[in-house]
Amino acid sequence: MQTSVNPATGEKIRDYPLHSAADVQAAIARAHECFLHWKTVSTDERARLLLRVAEILLTRKDGYARLIAREMGKPLKEAIAEVEKCAGCARYFAENGALFLADSAIATEYRKSYVAFLPLGIIFGIMPWNFPFWQVFRFALPSLMAGNIGLLKHSSNTPGCALAIESIFREAGLPEGAFQALLLPSDRIEEAIGHPRVAAITLTGSTPAGRSVAALAGKHLKKTVLELGGSDAYLILPDADVSLAVKTCAASRLLNCGQSCISAKRLIVAGNIRERFEQELLDIFRKQRTGDPLDAETTVGPMARADLRNALHEQVDRSIAAGARCLTGGVIPAGKGAFYPPTILTDVKKGMSAYEEELFGPVAVIIPAKDEEDAIAIANDTPFGLGGAIFTADFAHGEAIARGRVESGSCFVNMMVRSDVRLPFGGIRDSGYGRELSAFGIREFVNVKSIVVA
């Protein structure tokens, strides 16, 4: 049984029965039968159905947003934006998918030679709770547009979202079996990964989860894309617009109650601007309203689960015990729900939990740097490599640092890191491999096939 619990109250929403081993086998059989047909459907028809998905999402965005807010605690305004982003993703691949999948001619001495991008089959997505619609749609939409089939194992605390997404694709007119949600515990994922009809696996989650799934996929020789944890460094250089940097860092760190892989997790402040940076950040954090995610005035909702909140608090406590200063927050509030206050830790140094580990919650970590070179060294002193940002008045210099000095899958200058359907998204090192979104993402799960006519 999977139980959906409201993290703002701790009250049970609903129990959902798990799928049995026979259910999994039947779902994969349906998916394979669907693939035999779906791969022959024209890109024009696939695009038409994806546009219908976008229409359903926008028409019912308020209801879906309430479901997201109740199951994982995201403030309603953010949940609506998430649903809208999914609709935008559907439109993007409907409008651009055929171009991304078009045959690519290669000049050779042969009569004809080209590369075709052909579907692989069933793509098994293992998705997290923090963006329960967006994470699913960003793997499912390009996969379906490419002629593949989607099979979903969602997080155990968002089963309602999983089944709602399945119903959206069904209502949009996609054939039976094109997208199915399986309610499974994590210890049963090999039932799908090991099935010979499953072609590839994509996972968004923690680094330990990525290692486990990669090992299983390797055992069965399955292609994988892994988008894992991150500890994104935001470098605030001495010539930066401090107010812009503070507002951007605060927005990034508090979005989704800090539960984002690309949140501003390490704020590396160089030179003599740290005191001003800390004060302005403190002013913003103290103005936040923590509470019921369904309340329009709430800016920071609860964390998704109480166990996650408690683990975060332990990291904060260990960091303070090791010498970090807590400027605000850092205390679990009394009452129901998995709430944690917006918290700022400063004077964070190497060896502390807040320096070495990913903090997945509303905790800003300020790390002092002597100068620009020291800031860059600190930014790269991590096993992660998902995103990063540079704040400087010299745009060209910031671009040079972003391009060649910060080791990450993406790096932004004078703005927060975000996923954009037009750009490839993913990381390096312990943040995973492979790319989602854009032309690069849709081509991750295709057979890049060479065709030669002599």
Radius of gyration for the alpha carbons in the chain, expressed in angstroms and rounded: 22
Res 313: pLDDT: 98
Q: Are residues 255 and 210 in the same domain?
A: no
Res 187: pLDDT: 96
Q: Are residues 340 and 449 in the same domain?
A: no
* Termini Cα distance of the chain: 58
Closest C-alpha among 245, 337, 344 to residue 298: 337
Is 419 part of a structural domain of the chain?
Answer: no
Res 57: pLDDT: 98
Average of pLDDT values for 40-69? Answer: 98
Query: Residue 97 is part of which domain span?
Result: 2-228+429-453
Enumerate the active-site residues.
227, 261
Average of pLDDT values for 4-18? Answer: 97
Instruction: For residue 230, give every residue at least 6 positions away whose Cβ sits within 8 Å of its Cβ, in sequence order, or none.
Output: 261, 262, 263, 265, 358, 384, 385, 386, 387, 427, 431
Q: Are residues 47 and 18 in the same domain?
A: yes
Q: What is the pLDDT of residues 342-382, one digit of tens each?
A: 999 999 999 999 999 999 999 999 999 999 999 999 999 99
Q: Are residues 43 and 147 in the same domain?
A: yes
Q: Are residues 214 and 277 in the same domain?
A: no
Q: Are residues 208 and 103 in the same domain?
A: yes
Is 35 part of a structural domain of the chain?
Answer: yes
Is 253 part of a structural domain of the chain?
Answer: yes
Buried b (16+ CB within 10 A) or exposed e, 17-27: eebeeebbeeb
Asked if 106 contacts 449 with a C-beta cutoff of 8 angstroms, the reply is no
Average of pLDDT values for 282-307? Answer: 97
Count Cβ atoms below 10 Å from residue 368 Cβ, excluding itself: 18
**Residue 7's CATH number:** 3.40.605.10
Split into its structural domains, the chain has a count of: 2
0.75 exceeded by pTM: yes
**Residue 400's CATH number:** 3.40.309.10
Per-residue DSSP letters for 359-402? --SSEEEEEEESSHHHHHHHHT-SS--S-EEEE-S-HHHHHHHH
Q: What is the pLDDT of residues 127-147, one digit of tens each?
A: 999 999 999 999 999 999 999
Supply the mean pLDDT for the chain. 98
Q: Is the Cα torsion angle 256, 260, 262, 267 positive or negative in sign?
A: positive
